[in-house]
Amino acid sequence: MSLNIGVIGTGAIGQDHIRRCTKVLQGARVVAVNDINADHAANVVINQRLDAKVYENGHDLINAPEVDAVLVTSWGPSHEEFVLSAIQAGKPVFCEKPLAVTAEGCKRIVEAEARHGKRLVQVGFMRPYDRGYRALKAVIGSGQIGEPLMLHCAHRNPEVGDSYTTDMAITDTLIHEIDVLRWLLDDDYVSVQVVFPRKTSNALSHLKDPQIVLFETAKGTRIDVEIFVNCRYGYDIQCEVVGETGIARLPEPSSVQLRSAAKLSTEILTDWKQRFIDAYDVELQGFINDVLAGQLTGPSAWDGYAAAVTADACVAAQLSGEIVPVTLPARPGFYGNTAG
């Protein structure tokens, strides 16, 4: 059986997920697309030679009889209404991060899903599917470096567009670390502080870049994450775990070692689409398989909510400069009984 997918938002990641569903993954085809910019939607049908209907409105796409499941890849502030609409229609929905731009918005989604009585939402947190992070988690779990004491992380993009604002360093960029580090450590955040180093001359006047986010977890682990979205040199994700008896680092993406012109070098990626390309494939294939099997198991609306609660505290910490508590409500039984 093939799953008929409707895609709302045919920008960078929408096009990439459509390519993935059409050319890489098994068991699904894209039958409907929508974008607030009608040309984007029409172009993706032509460029990717889709047999798909273009809808003028995302809600009409969700309610279309030929659509079995929905991918929400429009920009963040529109996610909540489309996810709520999919839940209302009783259709499974894969929503790119952030699930909603506020914790309140995520809570409305969690409540609607609970009222429906069965999981319908998967959030596009792909890093727990990445082979490197999974290997790092296995090393921590094996006890080889003892208990994790400190993490030193970095999330660097070469550049960002004019519409990228200081709070988006949290809600759009750090949100990946917020999600994956909680999963990596099997721990929760209890407080956060944000400090601003000297500003790069490559950032626009409205944007504070770089930023350093300092977390403390319930187990007492300290985490520092550098967010630097105009670093120019590449797309670079770093994670180093300092344990009681050793240090474990996230593996670099594999690349040919080059000896040339009196230098030994390896390439650094520049495009986020390439850095986690396998993880995106695995997460979306997982969604398709789970929908066909009738039970979602990937990152849940609760994971989206937990990330948003943390992000809200980080944004408050950006504004105040103070140490801000992170308080997560207890996880409802509906989302399983594991911690967090």
By CB under 6 A, name the binding residues for ligand NAI. 125, 128-129, 179, 182-183, 186, 282, 286, 297-299, 303, 338-340
- Residue 209 interacting partner from ligand NAI, ligand ISE, ligand NAD, none (CB closer than 5 to 8 Å by kind): none
Q: Give the separation between CA 109 and CA 113, rounded to whole angstroms.
A: 6
- Residue 173 interacting partner from ligand NAD, ligand NAI, ligand ISE, none (CB closer than 5 to 8 Å by kind): ligand ISE
Amino acid (one-letter) located at 200: T
Structure tokens at 207: 């944007």
In this complex, which beta carbon is closest to ligand NAD, that of residue 54 or of residue 248?
54
- Residue 157 interacting partner from ligand NAI, ligand ISE, ligand NAD, none (CB closer than 5 to 8 Å by kind): ligand ISE
Among 20, 91, 97, 137, binds ligand NAD (CB under 6 A): 97
Q: End-to-end CA distance of the chain: give it in Å, rounded.
A: 35
3 state SS of 334: helix
Q: Give the separation between CA 336 and CA 303, rounded to whole angstroms.
A: 11
Backbone angles phi, psi at 209, to 5 degrees: -155, 130
- Residue 318 interacting partner from ligand ISE, ligand NAD, ligand NAI, none (CB closer than 5 to 8 Å by kind): none
Does position 221 bind ligand NAD by CB under 6 A? no
Q: Give the separation between CA 158 and CA 200, rounded to whole angstroms.
A: 12
Q: Which of 264, 276, 38 is nearest to 179 (CA)?
A: 276
Q: Tokens 């801000």: give the residue.
A: 324
Does position 230 bind ligand ISE by CB under 6 A? no
Does position 189 bind ligand ISE by CB under 6 A? no
Among 68, 80, 113, 172, binds ligand ISE (CB under 6 A): 172
- Residue 301 interacting partner from ligand ISE, ligand NAD, ligand NAI, none (CB closer than 5 to 8 Å by kind): none
**Which residue of this chain has its Cβ atom nearest to ligand NAD in the complex?**
11
Among 22, 63, 78, 165, binds ligand NAD (CB under 6 A): 78
Q: Tokens 């090393």: give the residue.
A: 139
Q: DSSP E strands: which ranges in 18-176?
A: 28-34, 53-55, 69-72, 93-95, 121-123, 148-156
Interaxial angle between packed helices 175-185 and 131-142, expressed in degrees from 0 to 180 and rounded to the nearest 10: 30
- Residue 234 interacting partner from ligand ISE, ligand NAI, ligand NAD, none (CB closer than 5 to 8 Å by kind): none
Does position 73 bind ligand ISE by CB under 6 A? no
Which of the ranges 75-83, 290-298, 308-316, 322-330 carries the binding residues for ligand NAD, by CB under 6 A?
A: 75-83
Distance of alpha carbon 65 from the chain centroid: 29
- Residue 14 interacting partner from ligand NAD, ligand NAI, ligand ISE, none (CB closer than 5 to 8 Å by kind): ligand NAD
Q: Give the separation between CA 144 and CA 243, rounded to whole angstroms.
A: 9
The number of residues making up the chain comes to: 340
Q: Give the separation between CA 111 and CA 90, rounded to whole angstroms.
A: 14
Backbone angles phi, psi at 117, to 5 degrees: 95, 0
Contact residues for ligand ISE (CB under 6 A)? 157, 172-173, 176, 229, 272
Contact residues for ligand NAD (CB under 6 A)? 8-14, 34-37, 40, 58, 73-76, 78, 96-97, 124, 126, 172, 272
